[in-house]
Structure 1
Amino acid sequence: MIRLPALLILLLANIFFVLSLASGQDKGFQPDRVFPVKALQEDLQHLRYKLETTHPDLYQYTSRKNFVIFMDSLHNAIQQPMTERTFYGLITLLNGKIKDGHTMELLSEATRTYHNRNSLFFPFHVFVSGNRLFVQIPCLKDTSLTRGTEIISINNQPVATIVQQLLDRQIRDGNNLQYARWIVSNYFKEYYSFLFGYPTTFILQYKEKDGRIETTAIGALPKDSIQSYKTINDLQSAVSKKGRGIIYEKWPLAHTALLAIKTFDVDLLESLYEQNFDSTIHVIFSTMQHDQVEHLVLDLRDNQGGDFAPGKLLLSYLIKKPVHYLSGSKEALWILPASDCFKGKLYVLINGGSFSNTAIVSAYLQQSQRAVFIGEETGGNRTRISGDAEEYILPNTKIVCYIASHSYQINPSKSDGHGVQPDHIVIPQRGDIIIGRDPAKAFVQEMIKKQGSH
């Protein structure tokens, strides 16, 4: 499997934060304790050793020589004692050198648990476009900063600087920053806090619709309050997740349907959405035959991947000719078209959150010229991908590190560091956020209308 343990931890922390709050007090724990230089250097050396002995493609994007030079520079930067969070901000700069989305670091479990229970966070769900930041969902009682409001600075620090510092330390596949931007958008409050701390008040400079620049003070909130206000202020957040991990909908357009798959992680699908991947997919494709679907829109946006098996099954229902899957790896096999596979026109929606196994599925559909792709470049690489991350805990700070242990070749080409490119680039804009419009869906609907049902 090529799961994403670190981001799943963040996701589940947001969903099940109440369990964390109720699980007890943090007796005497000091999240800002300072570690001596020797302890920090030992942790860095431990991380270096684990990277060099575990990761199969450590020097894919940065040469061994330059990697050694960079590691030495990190070692030399440890000149005085640091807190865990400061040290974390230093070592996460490695992500811009390794460029592997399955190799990552998180603050220690104790520190994250402490802050989830006791600290306050940035009370907005945001959307990152370039180095600009827009409000997507206000998660507080005061909703004067509405959807689409551009935030210019936070606590007197320009947003462009904040976003760039977060991106510099964020995981990504190769030279593609799509996944990094997607993570910063979806987990801004966590990663902002990891790097910049947990202020009780945010002084925000923002731009009004008429271009005027205004300033306001917003109080930080605990995670449970943020989640509650998000549910109140965003109708989609209040919808039950049951049965919503895999969604099949007939569209009003003749012989057209949507199949949206939010994850290929079978455990997450069962626990969060109460769905079994195999049985759900079998039923859906049987239903599609009954509905005489000729145009299928496959929505793989925000699907961070998961297990190999679901991707293989989905491909068998979509391909028209055999596909040689992950040649040369332990997962290698020929995938054959299912007897009742879909033979109509296929349109695939992708974005920066289309990562890992989702990128693999997308890559094979594109290689076989099976689909038209709409949206944004996938966050996951289209040529070579790593996975099977092993967990290591640094001995002193207890920072949690995940390091990929296997690599998989999707096709024989040398990786250019990029994901699957869309045939039609459709990027959400500020206006789309304000009115809740889905421009990629609108684009594909218009495309199908022009083609008719044949």
Structure 2
Amino acid sequence: MKHLIWLVIGMAAFSACSPRAYSPQRTFEASALRSDFELMRKGLETSHPGLYWYTPKPRLDSAFDATAARLDHPLTELEFRKLLDPLVELIHCGHTTVRGSRGFEHWRKRHKPQDFPLTVFEHKGKIFVASNFSDEPGIRKGQEVVRIDGHDALSVYESLKGIVISDGYNQTFKTTTILNNFPTYYRYWYGEKERYEVVVVDSLHEEQTFRLRWKKEQKAAKAVTPAAVTPVPGQVRPPATVPVVRSLGNRNIHLAFSPADSSIAILDINTFGDGSYRKWYRRVFREIERKKVTHLVIDLRNNGGGKVAASNLLMRYLMDQPFQAYQSVESLPYPSPMTRYISERIGRDIMIAMIARKLPEGRRAIRSATRIQKPVKKYGFRGDVYLLTNGGSFSASSITAANLQFWKRAVVVGRETGGGRNGCSAWSIPYLTLPQTRVRVRLPLFKTLTAVTDPNVGHGVIPDHQVVFTAQDIMGNQDPDLQRIYELVRGSRVVKD
């Protein structure tokens, strides 16, 4: 009987701690919120190597103090996170974001959200419909959106851009993320509704009001959460202007050839996170050599990054001389007093001890990252290389573009990358879990500097040939980026000065 009683008590305790016991309406006392906030601040100040890279310490300290002063009453987890988002955005580090607790994420999986049913884009200060997932067929692509739930549409768009965190002062990551994930961001910031009120302008230039919800057969299956750093899922990506014939690859890495010009191959790499990259790189570049390709287009648009090793190997297939991809990869003193609050602590401690050399004052440096790398000889490509980039080119893909451009091995076409040209804070990125609310903060541990020696002006890789999408391009699913490359190939105007 005694054992049965203890079993019941144990099951009750487990149930109370389980994700099913989570309630989004639960509020936390101001003292608990302040405790978590101070721990987050201390964690960032002692462990984030790029905390003051773009925002001076006095300004950031002032913002921390102002936010702390607002923690004077109970808040739900979501309200607490929304208070932290604008503060963390001031760090201007795309790898540093606020995430919900695991309890919240488990709860959200069981309670599917009612997202806003339109994607939108901004053009010349106005907001237009990009896609309609609602139950109202009267909303058409290209219609101007005037108001959403009584709010000015442009003001809504700008407010959501304000909580998207990019590297430095970059704006293309923000616009790409909002284009790809407006439904999720709107629901997160403005609140979930059964139906959303939207006012659009019709063909007679008159305003029409609709109350919209997602069509039941439609779902925002691949939309990322506001805390994610990469806009790869749910991407709005136009098809090629000139048809291509797919040759080989998988859903993340695939090679295609243009029937209009047999000398051009297009290698589309959606992520550097594919575990089979070595196999596919070898197959792809062997096929490129077999087809005697002289112009290789590498599409890194909406590639949110991934494995450093995958990025480095791609560069080795393309480089024509030994090169250095990174100047330095260093951390603040590690371990720190905050280490016990980070995720996967034991494994991370072992990993850092193995790959990172200890420097004076306890800092760590990954020496292997700065070694000179040699080009791949067998199947290495030495022809003309063009890179397609946009605001969704982030982290490892931005670093790839930065190095290939810096070492004059590629012509970059498109829009500024979402990741920093000179580097970022990343490499090892655990979660700092706040003990009271269980809210998680992504905390990059290493400051990574690319080989680029130019002054850091807080932006991504600026293309050699910048291409601006018009409203007609977006609505007509055109791809002026690729069209520009065909023009460059035909004109033989490869920038290598």
Q: TM above 0.5, one fold?
A: yes
Question: How far apart, CA to CA, are the structure 2 residues paired with 1:48 and 1:88?
Answer: 14
In structure 2, what is the equivalent of residue 270 of structure 1? none
Whether the 8 Å CA contact 1:95–1:170 is kept in 2: the answer is no
- Describe the superposition over 1:292-337 as per-residue Cα deviations: whole angstroms up to 9, x where unpaired: 1111111000001011111111101111222112123311121222
Larger radius of gyration: 2
Runs of at least 5 residues in structure 2 that lack an aligned partner in the other structure? 1-17, 223-233, 240-248, 330-365
Whether the 8 Å CA contact 2:67–2:87 is kept in 1: the answer is no
- Describe the superposition over 1:338-376 as per-residue Cα deviations: whole angstroms up to 9, x where unpaired: 213212111111000001011111001111112221110
Q: Relative to 1, partners in 2 of residues 1:192 and 1:116: Cα closer, same or farther, differing over 3 Å?
A: farther
Task: Select which of 472, 475, 478 maps to 1:434.
Answer: 475
Task: Select which of 261, 280, 284 maps to 2:269.
Answer: 261
- Describe the superposition over 1:273-304 as per-residue Cα deviations: whole angstroms up to 9, x where unpaired: xxx11111111111111111111111000001
In structure 2, what is the equivalent of residue 6 of structure 1? none
**Displacement, 1:423?**
1.5
**Displacement, 1:245?**
0.9
Whether the 8 Å CA contact 2:133–2:218 is kept in 1: the answer is no
Q: Secondary structure of the equivalent of 1:193?
A: helix
Amino acid paired to 1:41:
R
Amino acid paired to 1:136:
A
Q: Relative to 1, partners in 2 of residues 1:373 and 1:73: Cα closer, same or farther, differing over 3 Å?
A: same
In structure 2, what is the equivalent of residue 363 of structure 1? 402
**Displacement, 1:47?**
0.8
In structure 2, what is the equivalent of residue 395 of structure 1? 435
**Displacement, 1:130?**
7.3
Task: Select which of 242, 245, 252 maps to 1:245.
Answer: 252
Amino acid paired to 2:101:
S
Tell me which moved more, 304-313 or 422-431.
422-431
**Displacement, 1:69?**
1.2
**Displacement, 1:428?**
2.3
Whether the 8 Å CA contact 1:94–1:169 is kept in 2: the answer is no
Question: How far apart, CA to CA, are the structure 2 residues paired with 1:116 and 1:153?
Answer: 30
Runs of at least 5 residues in structure 1 that lack an aligned partner in the other structure? 1-24, 237-241, 268-275
Q: Relative to 1, partners in 2 of residues 1:213 and 1:319: Cα closer, same or farther, differing over 3 Å?
A: farther
Amino acid paired to 1:393:
T
Amino acid paired to 1:189:
P
Please state if 1:332 is matched with 2:332.
no
Please state if 1:176 is matched with 2:180.
no
Tell me which moved more, 102-111 or 356-365.
102-111
In structure 2, what is the equivalent of residue 134 of structure 1? 128
In structure 2, what is the equivalent of residue 295 of structure 1? 295
Question: How far apart, CA to CA, are the structure 1 residues paired with 2:238 and 2:136?
Answer: 17
Q: Relative to 1, partners in 2 of residues 1:256 and 1:244: Cα closer, same or farther, differing over 3 Å?
A: same
Question: How far apart, CA to CA, are the structure 2 residues paired with 1:445 and 1:41?
Answer: 57
**Displacement, 1:251?**
0.4
Amino acid paired to 1:337:
P
Whether the 8 Å CA contact 1:147–1:433 is kept in 2: the answer is no
TM-score where L is the length of structure 2: 0.77
**Displacement, 1:178?**
1.7
Please state if 1:379 is matched with 2:418.
yes
Whether the 8 Å CA contact 2:257–2:265 is kept in 1: the answer is yes
Identity %: 28
- Describe the superposition over 1:247-285 as per-residue Cα deviations: whole angstroms up to 9, x where unpaired: 211102131110110000134xxxxxxxx1111111111
Task: Select which of 189, 197, 200 maps to 1:203.
Answer: 197
Amino acid paired to 1:376:
R
Amino acid paired to 1:29:
Y
Amino acid paired to 2:187:
S
In structure 1, what is the equivalent of residue 145 of structure 2? 151
Trace 1:404-443 onto structure 2 (pairs within 5 A): 404-410=444-450, 411-443=452-484
Q: Which has the higher helix share?
A: 1
CA root-mean-square deviation: 2.7
- Describe the superposition over 1:167-221 as per-residue Cα deviations: whole angstroms up to 9, x where unpaired: 2222110111221222222222222222211111110112335644322110256
Question: How far apart, CA to CA, are the structure 1 residues paired with 2:290 and 2:184?
Answer: 45
Whether the 8 Å CA contact 1:200–1:220 is kept in 2: the answer is no
Q: Secondary structure of the equivalent of 2:134?
A: coil
Trace 1:89-168 onto structure 2 (pairs within 5 A): 89-118=82-111, 119-128=113-122, 132-168=126-162
Q: Secondary structure of the equivalent of 2:391?
A: coil
Tell me which moved more, 359-368 or 153-162.
153-162
Question: How far apart, CA to CA, are the structure 1 residues paired with 2:187 and 2:327?
Answer: 41
Question: How far apart, CA to CA, are the structure 2 residues paired with 1:343 and 1:235?
Answer: 29
Q: Relative to 1, partners in 2 of residues 1:235 and 1:101: Cα closer, same or farther, differing over 3 Å?
A: closer
Question: How far apart, CA to CA, are the structure 2 residues paired with 1:361 and 1:431?
Answer: 31
Amino acid paired to 1:178:
T
**Displacement, 1:223?**
9.5
**Displacement, 1:26?**
7.0
In structure 1, what is the equivalent of residue 321 of structure 2? 321
Q: Secondary structure of the equivalent of 1:327?
A: strand
